[in-house]
Amino acid sequence: MTGFDRRTLFRAGGAAAAATTVPVATASTAAAATGTASPGRRDRSGLTTRNPLVEQRADPFITRPVDGMYYLTGSVPEYDRLVVRGASTLDGLASARERTIWRRPSSGRMGGYIWAPELHRIDGRWYVYFAAGDADEPFRIRTYVLESPNADPRADGWLPPRRMVTAWDTFTLDATTFTHRGKRYFLWAQSEPGIATNSNLYIAEMASPLELATEPVRIAVPTASWEIQGFRVNEGPAVLIRNGRVFVTFSASATDARYCMGLLTADENANLLDARSWTKTGPVFVTNDQTRQFGPGHNSFTVAEDGRTDVLVYHARDYRDIDGDPLFDPNRHTRVQELGWNEDGTPSFGVPVGKGGPISRLSPLDAPHLVVRHFEYRLRVDGNVRELADSQFRFGPGHFGAGTVSLASVNFPDRYVRVADVLRVDPYEDTDAYGRSTSFVREPGLADRDAVSLRLVTDRDMYLTHESGRLVVARRPGRGRAERERATFRIR
């Protein structure tokens, strides 16, 4: 393989190598090994790897599938209307026709900024909760709700908006709703008189999808340093009930690169209307310079097409520097990625991932509860990896020949798995030595053909192998099952 051939696989120091998972290398698949990922490639769960999923849609909300359809809504850059698009797959939302279901009036109430809609199916009817200002006071934001009896939320027939009345007539936004233990709750952000913050988080029980049954309970106030950068903000709550707990993510600080996410947690048996039931941690999801994703936040949750994989939906920008007020920068794009889970049952967010193909985690067949990860750039095999992104990789075209593959780190996209004195993730170098040491042949698993084994390009008898928590290079194992399992990895 010549240096010229290898360079054609890369742009700007190797960035193009974050591409699609490559099939088992044979002469017939050599072309696939050097191709780039199609934007809508999906991983094993059916989760799209398109990033961003939809451009210029901030505050994204994607429903769980309803009668086989996903629906997406979010803030448009003009802040003047409510939109919905639908598709049978998450990836299909990228190109789905968008329908405007409501447009602000030219004057008076709700004639100002229209923000952060959420779409919910409740008792056979659709509801959109959204925030709106007035024409003469666009930042006089209050929460409203639209209702539709139709089966398809894109259809005409939405009833006129109604105001959601809370305890105070103050700045109110980012409402969501959920059920737990037979009760429906309303969760939102509001400015409370007497508290010097921009917005706090509140919860109340609902009498119906249109009104509250109880007084609000304040469950979060921005006080930590990561919550008060630029503005004192807790907003954008989203609920996920798993593993005996009720989790509420929320967003904090100004809407530029300082925007980030925190987490509230309550036991599933707790009184959710008691502020003492909730514990705050964070930040859990922040700007990442390496992946070039800035200001991730205002998220929602859905599931992938397998019906099991939890999906984090959020917005972020591709650049840090913004001219003027970040609220009026249009390029907060809708993104989706898999949500991980720690062994203790808490969510693991990882980093906002950049562009590229499917994300993989590798588990040795002899220790399926462990994963390959890098720590201080060295590779090893660990369990309970709470730094999710340290164990995430992307298969891409190899750096030294058709039919070979490379493994790029997700949170350090310019670094690839390299065989040196130890196995490491090292920055890309435009040398033959680097190309040889970072290229592998991907084969059907030596112990399970549905898994994979990774053979060195430089020696047909040497494989990546798990050895007592270490990842090493070892000679091709014999016929013994245990030895072959150590050189076989399940992709998950």
Nearest to 418 by CA among 431, 399, 437: 437
CA 3, CA 282: separation in Å to the nearest integer? 46
Q: How many CA atoms lie within 13 A of 182 on its CB side?
A: 0
For 138-197, strand residue ranges (E) read 142-148, 162-163, 172-180, 183-190
Nearest to 180 by CA among 146, 206, 202, 200: 206
Nearest to 394 by CA among 99, 41, 64: 41
Question: How many Cβ atoms sit within 10 Å of the Cβ of residue 489?
Answer: 28
At position 291, the amino acid (one-letter code) is T
Distant-in-sequence, close-in-space partners of 487: CB < 8 Å, separation ≥ 6: 446, 447, 453, 463, 464, 465, 466, 474, 476, 477
Q: Three-state secondary structure along 182-248?
A: CEEEEEEEECCCCCCCCEEEEEEEEEECCEECCCCEEEECCCCHHHCCCCCEEEEEEEEEECCEEEE
Contact 58, 131 (CB under 8 A): no
Catalytic residue, chosen from 43, 59, 329, 426, is 59
CA 35, CA 23: separation in Å to the nearest integer? 11
Question: How many Cβ atoms sit within 10 Å of the Cβ of residue 281?
Answer: 11
CA 406, CA 417: separation in Å to the nearest integer? 7
Catalytic residue, chosen from 235, 338, 366, 485, is 235
215 is catalytic: no
Element at 435 (helix H, strand E): helix 432-437
At position 388, the amino acid (one-letter code) is L
The whole-angstrom distance between residue 64's C-alpha and the CA centroid of its chain comes to 15
235 is catalytic: yes
Residues facing 303 on adjacent strands: 310
Kindly list the catalytic residues. 59, 235
